[in-house]
Structure formats: structure tokens, C-alpha cells
Amino acid sequence: MPTEIVRHLSPEEQELARKRQELALLQVELTDRELSLANLRAEVAAFEGRYLREVGVLYAELDDWNAKIAELVAEADGTEKAKSAAAEARGQAEESYAAAHGEAARAAEFSPSPELKKLFREVVRHIHPDNANDDADRTVRNRLMAEANLAYRRGDADALRIILEEYKNSPESVRGEGVGADLVRVLRQIDRIVKRLAQIEAEAAALASSEIALLMANVGIETVKGRNLLAEMKQDVLHRIDLARSSFEDQSSKMRPR
């Protein structure tokens, strides 16, 4: 490793030293950005879970009542138009039900402790795939990074520690030799990290402008003002459910005598 002070650095060695410095700075930035992105993803997923459990399920219920009403009308009416309207309403109700009761709805609240954040930062720093020395190393890192992301999302500190240990002990973590090979590797790493940073930025921007994140931001702003937006949304849909239910009951009682 050419890290010791050398009296006469070759131009190649000087270039390598400069690039190593550049790489080190980028690695720090990458770690920060990956952590922020992971936090944003987890936060949004947690909010989505809460939203689906509190409000989404009510939309599903509302759609179910509307589908029931449409089916009642179709039954009474018998026209193709009414039948297809009923089928469409039922389809919407099923889609809403699947969305409101799907995996996303089970996302738990996310509130990582400072220790967990620190640990995850450590993991990112050590095993980020863009710091890989070669393709074999990169493959291992990719797998571990995905696991680490999930562990972080779960708040599973033990899993993060195991991942870190596993990587440190893996033969891929040993670096190759030779200034030329090192320089090529460092340049490739820099290139990857720059690309990854752009990608992170794009993903964060896309995530932040998603409907669920905008809703989350909205709720957050109103919470500061002392207003519970989710509760208001819940109330609104509940009221609409009541209206739909009584409308359904009205119509079905009108139809029964026939």
C-alpha cells in the first residue's frame, strides 16, 4: 500500500494519491446521502402504512358500499350500461381493498435511534457496493447492502452488526496490489460513486414528490399548526361511508317489495 511517505512519488503515484483523497471525500458524502435516502424511504413507508391503516381502509370500505349500490342498480336496471358500471365499481373496490390491506399497510412506525443511525452509517461506509475493489467484491456488497437496508428499516441493530462482521471477514475485502491497478480501481470507484450520488438525488426527488410523501409533508405541516389532518380525512371518509350505507339501505329496502 503506497500510503507511507515516499521521497519521490512517480506521477502515477501522485495521481493515485490525489484520487484517493477525492474518493475519500466522495465516500463520506455517499454515506451521508445513503443514510438520508434510507431514512426518507423508511419514513415514507411508515407514513404510508399509517395512512393505509387509518384512511386507506376507509376508502376501500367506501368503494365497497359504492360497488354494492352499483350492483343493486344493475340488478334492478338490468341494462348493460348499469352492469358494466357495477363491474367497474366492483373492480375499483377490489383494487382499493388490495392496496389498503396489502403489504404496505403493515409498515411499522419508523423512529431509528441515534445508535442505529450510527451503526447503519458504519455499514454503508464499509460495504457500499460503489466502494468495491472488483466485481466479485461488488456482488457481495450488493447483497449485504440490500440486507442492511432491510435491517435498518426494521430497526434491527443485531442484523446490521452481523452484516458488518460478515463483510469484514470476507476474502473480497482484501485489496489488490500495484499502483496502476489501484489507480484504475480508484478511478472506477469515483465514477461509480458520482453516478450513484446522482441516482440518489433523483430517487430522493422522485420519492419526495410522490403522492404519499406530499401527503406526509402536508400532514407534518398541519401537525405543527396543531391540526390533525389524518383524523380529518378519516372523519370525512367515515361520513361518506355513512351516507353511502344509508343510501344502499334505502335503495335495497325500496327494491325488496318487488
Partner 1 sequence: MSAGEEQAALVPVPSAALTKAGAKSLAARGRADLRVREEAEEWLQKGLELHHQQQYEDAFRCFERGIQLNPNHPELQLWLGNMFTNGEGVPQDYVQAATWWRKAAEQGLPKAQNNLGCAYEFGQGVMQDYAQAAVWFRKAAEQGFAFAQFGLGNLFTNGQGVPQDYTQAAAWYRKAAEQGDTGAQHNLGCAYEFGQGLPQDHTLAAVWWRKAAEQGYADAQNDLGVLYHGGDGVQQDHAQAANWYRKAAEKGHADAQNNLGILYQYGHGVPQNDAMAAAWYRKAAEQGNAGAKAALTVMAQSPITLDMSKAVPLKNPEPRVTPSVVQDEDEIDLSAGFRPLSMATATELHPNEIEDLPLSVSSSARTYPALSADQRAETIRGFEATKADLQPPVLDDVSGGVRLSRS
Q: Does 202 bind partner 1 (CB under 8 A)?
A: no
The C-alpha cell of 69 is what?
349500490
Angle at 199 between CA 197 and CA 201, to 5 degrees: 70
d(CA 222, CA 50): 16
Neighbours of 50 (CB within 10 A): 19
DSSP-assigned letter for residue 134 = S
Q: Using the rule CB under 8 A, is 185 a contact of partner 1?
A: no
Q: Check binding of 184 to partner 1 (CB under 8 A).
A: no
Q: Does 243 bind partner 1 (CB under 8 A)?
A: yes
Residue 11's H or E segment, with its range, is: helix 11-51
On whether the CB atoms of residues 100 and 52 are closer than 8 A, the answer is yes
Report if residue 111 touches partner 1, rule: CB under 8 A. no
Binding window for partner 1 (CB under 8 A); candidates: 8-16, 70-78, 99-107, 179-187: 99-107
* Residue 194 lies near partner 1 (rule: CB under 8 A): no
Cα–Cα distance for residue pair 105/35, rounded to 1 Å: 23
- Within residues 18-37, the interface with partner 1 by CB under 8 A covers none
Q: Could you say whether residue 82 binds partner 1 (CB under 8 A)?
A: no
| Residues of the shown chain interacting with partner 1 in the complex, contacts defined by CB under 8 A | 41-42, 44-45, 48, 51-52, 55-56, 59, 95-96, 98-100, 102-105, 107, 129, 138, 142, 145-146, 149-150, 153, 192, 195-196, 199, 203, 210-212, 214-215, 218, 229, 232-233, 236-237, 239-240, 243
